[in-house]
Homo-oligomer: A and B are copies of this chain.
Amino acid sequence: MHSKSVIAALSFFVALTAPSLAQTPVRALAEILEQSPASDWRSVEQENLLYMELPAGRVIIELAPDYAPRHAENIRALSRANYFNGSAIVRSQDNYVVQWGRDEGDAAALGEAHPTLQGEFDRPRAGVRITRLRDRDTYAREVGFANGFPAAGEHGRTWLAHCYGMVGAGRGDTPDSGNGGELYVVIGHAPRHLDRNVTLVGRVLVGMELLSIMPRGTGALGFYEDAAQRTAIRSIRIGSDLPASEQLPLEALRTDSATFLDVVESRRTRRESWFLQPTGRINLCNVPLPVRLRAS
């Protein structure tokens, strides 16, 4: 099951190409990745990986402790308290988010987790290494990639960006009303107006195609009106808590590498024969972030 999921995830990142009558392979990007030096990849740390078990398979999320250290730690604590075991996907709103957690008042043990956390909406820009994109962005003066995550910035601050596949922590009306126990993933066009309003905690690396097809809820905001429509979550566990034999050795392309610059450029200016207009521009959320299994 591991390799099948990972292949699906890889095809998600690598096979992004144009609608066509024939199945034209994208050679350019595949070649760039094949020819990349091993040093341009990083092993994703298992303590930053959430393994989420759904009836249809596994989703793996990488946490972003550089931007949301307290939320990452709280999600680890919730996971260790088995908080998520037996929780469910409760919301699926088209072109927006799929969300999971527990009902309010469903008293699951929090273990060592805090019941609420102050939001981690942004951080000082100074000292953060960002591989900048050169093209304009609607929502920020600067956009690029910080250690594998899409990021934006201006006025001396930087924050993670709500691109497809990014995972955030739901909250109520006050900035300190979330705790990482209710999470959502972006399944549509990037809702960048959520940037700096809510804490982004990570990104789906594997199994996004299991979350994005959740039947849309018919209640307000896409909540399921009938509990029978929910999808059960068997468990969410931290990679470093798993036996080594169950840890998936994922590697992500370093976003500060020369190979990544080549990836961006190959997508910025399309050279495949299908393209009549090479574009020569790219939006932050259209840049692929390649992930692979470490060769054994």
Q: A-side interface residues toward B, CB under 8 Å? A: 8, 11-12, 15-25, 91, 93-97, 99, 104, 119, 121, 135-139, 163-165, 168, 170-173, 175, 177-178, 182, 184, 188-198, 208-209, 212-216, 218-223, 267, 270, 273-277, 279, 281-286
CA distance A12 to B71 in the complex (A): 30
Contact across chains for A193 and B279 when beta carbons are under 8 A apart: yes
Contact across chains for B137 and A138 when beta carbons are under 8 A apart: yes
- Distance in Å: Cβ of A91 to nearest Cβ of chain B: 8
* Given A173-B274, A209-B94: A218 touches B23 (CB 8 Å cut-off): no
Contact across chains for A189 and B163 when beta carbons are under 8 A apart: yes
Subset of 15 A-B contacts with CB under 8 Å: A12-B94, A12-B95, A19-B170, A19-B171, A20-B173, A22-B173, A24-B173, A95-B165, A119-B276, A188-B189, A195-B277, A197-B276, A197-B277, A213-B214, A213-B216
Contact across chains for B216 and A8 when beta carbons are under 8 A apart: yes
Excluding A136-B138, A189-B189, 14 further A-B contacts by CB distance (< 8 Å) are A17-B221, A20-B173, A21-B172, A23-B223, A94-B209, A94-B212, A95-B208, A136-B136, A164-B189, A173-B274, A189-B283, A197-B274, A197-B276, A213-B216
CA distance A19 to B138 in the complex (A): 21
Contact across chains for A19 and B184 when beta carbons are under 8 A apart: yes
Please indicate the chain B residues that have their CB under 8 angstroms from the CB of A270 in the complex: 193
Chain B minimum-CB-distance residue to A122: B277
Interface of A is mostly: loop
CA distance A250 to B104 in the complex (A): 38
